[in-house]
Amino acid sequence: MTDAMPPSKFEDADETIEEAATATSNMEEDSAMCEPHDSSTDKTSADYYFDSYSHFGIHEEMLKDVVRTKTYQNVIYKNKFLFKDKIVLDVGAGTGILSLFCAKAGAKHVYAIECSQMADMAQEIVKANGFSNVITVLKGKVEEIDLPVPQVDIIISEWMGYFLLYENMLNTVLYARDKWLVSDGIVLPDNATLHLTAIEDSEYKEDKIEFWKNVYGFDMSCIRKQSMMEPLVDTVDQNQIVTNCQLLKSMNISKMTSGDASFTAPFKLVAERDDYIHALVAYFDVAFTVCHKMTGFSTGPRSKNTHWKQTVLYLEDVLTICQGEFVVGTMTVTQNKKNPRDIDITLKYSLNGRRCNVSRTQEYKMR
């Protein structure tokens, strides 16, 4: 199935990107969440290294991602009928922004669970904005917390990582869903999809990968091997896209199990012009299908940029592809056994073209 991904697929896609104070940053999200840390406010850089969500910087970046934050705001403010008199659980509340939206939309009570030191700020923010009677901030891990109520009507969370699954916070949402959500309860967002396309990227591949072959006259190819294995999180210009965009995997967050986040999916990318292919690019969309009108956002190269950018997987071979020819293969995504927050990706691809015949398997690790 191909996917042209027009941003207008979702209600108010335009509104979510208006006045976009483009939030670009080179800051990499730290994969380590909620590691043991001391609770004093005199934190050192080492503390932040192990617990980046305790620092306001990462929350600033997320809040300034208006595609992300405005979509959640629209979902809540434009669908008040969902929230009226409902008990809401905010999984990984951060600054408490989603809880505040829900409280303002008329939720009966909101439980905001946050494991990092930012929970203390969320508590203060809730108080400063007069919502202490509606929002209860609970500091701790979702997996360890005692919720004061047996059940909730709605679970809301912004759990998505790079390549959708990096950081693996989805497991935490599924854990909360299975433990506390009423049987007819809703999960927001309730749909996430992963997509794949192929790009021309000679300049950047030269700069990021081939660079290691000759560094001031020295051969550092051993590092090239490592750089090939590491998916690159960066923005891709839509003019670089050579093929269609293929839906790789669709996840129903209300029904799936954590095992469904590991999968093998086939793909077929058909060239839309004669060009060279240097890399495959993965990105995700999320949707809130229970809204009055379909709402969501895409992190694809044809949509307004978000802080998730796209994930670029460089190919060992440069593929010379003619219009109408196709790259076929499979992508296998699995949680790393040693560190479940990391993901291992196996890519099998082949091109049987007039000017190029290639078949190869490549391994990537996101960490």
Positions touching ligand SAH (CB under 6 A) are: 33-34, 53, 59, 62-63, 92-95, 97-98, 113-116, 118, 141-143, 158, 169, 172
Cβ proximity to ligand SAH: between 125 and 327 the closer is 125
The angle at the Cα of 197, spanning 192 to 200, to the nearest 5 degrees, equals 145
The two three-digit tokens of residue 299, written as one number: 């992190």
Tell me how far, at minimum, the Cβ of 299 lies from ligand SAH, in Å: 15
Nearer to ligand SAH, 125 or 345 (CB): 125
For 57, other C-beta atoms within 10 Å of its C-beta total: 12
User: Which residue matches tokens 């990984």?
Assistant: 92
- Cβ pair 193, 247 in contact under 8 A: yes
Helix (H) or strand (E) holding 180: helix 170-180
User: Minimum Å distance from CB 319 to ligand SAH?
Assistant: 37
Residue 175 or 276: which CB sits closer to ligand SAH? Answer: 175
CA dist 343 and 365 (Å) reads 6
d(CA 82, CA 88): 10
Q: In the complex, what is the shortest distance from the CB of residue 167 to ligand SAH, in angstroms, rounded to a whole number? A: 8
Assigned token pair, 360: 């190869």
Q: Which residues are designated catalytic?
A: 158, 167
What 3-state class would DSSP assign to 161? strand
Min dist CB 325 to ligand SAH, Å, is 41
CA distance linking residue 367 with residue 28, whole number of Å:
11
Q: How far is the CB of 144 from ligand SAH (least distance, A)?
A: 8
d(CA 352, CA 359): 8
Cβ distance to ligand SAH smaller for residue 169 or 313: 169
Cβ distance to ligand SAH smaller for residue 158 or 200:
158
Distances (CA, A) of 41 to 37, 47, 87, 94, 200: 11, 10, 32, 17, 48
Whichever of 169 and 245 has its CB closer to ligand SAH, that residue is: 169
Q: Which among 324, 230, 224 has a CA at the least distance from the CA of 269?
A: 324
Q: Please, what is the minimum distance in Å from the beta carbon of residue 253 to ligand SAH? A: 15
Rounded to 10 deg, the angle between the 56-64 and 118-128 helix axes is: 60
Q: Is 251 helix (H, G, I), strand (E, B) or coil?
A: strand
What are the structure tokens assigned to 103, written together? Answer: 């409280």
